[in-house]
């Protein structure tokens, strides 16, 4: 997996997002997420390469996110 491959994978299956942690205090958090159907190894490899911890779960539809 090259940086270019990871970039393309993110474009196809990933997203950057912002969530509200505490509306009254104005606390926000940013995130980076992606999904893969039935192939947890791809997500593990990406996490290792870019140095992120992987918090994954299997949804009902068979997608790891």
pLDDT for the residue numbered 56:
62
> Cα separations (Å) of 11 from 5, 8, 20, 26, 62?
10, 5, 24, 29, 20
DSSP state of 51: T
Q: Give the residue-averaged pLDDT of 13-22.
A: 87
The residue ranges of every structural domain in the chain are: 3-64
By the 8 A CB rule, do 50 and 44 touch? Answer: no
pLDDT for the residue numbered 28:
92
The alpha carbon dihedral of 26, 23, 34, 13 has a sign of: negative
Q: 41 phi and psi, to 5 degrees?
A: -60, -35
pLDDT tens-digit series, residues 26-63: 899 988 888 777 777 888 888 888 887 766 666 667 77
């Amino acid at each position: 997996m090259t940086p270019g491959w990871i970039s393309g994978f993110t474009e196809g299956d990933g997203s950057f997002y912002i969530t509200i942690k505490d509306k009254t205090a104005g606390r926000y958090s940013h995130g980076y997420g992606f999904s893969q159907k039935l192939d947890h190894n791809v997500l593990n490899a990406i996490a290792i390469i870019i140095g992120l911890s992987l918090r994954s779960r299997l949804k009902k539809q068979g997608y790891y996110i």
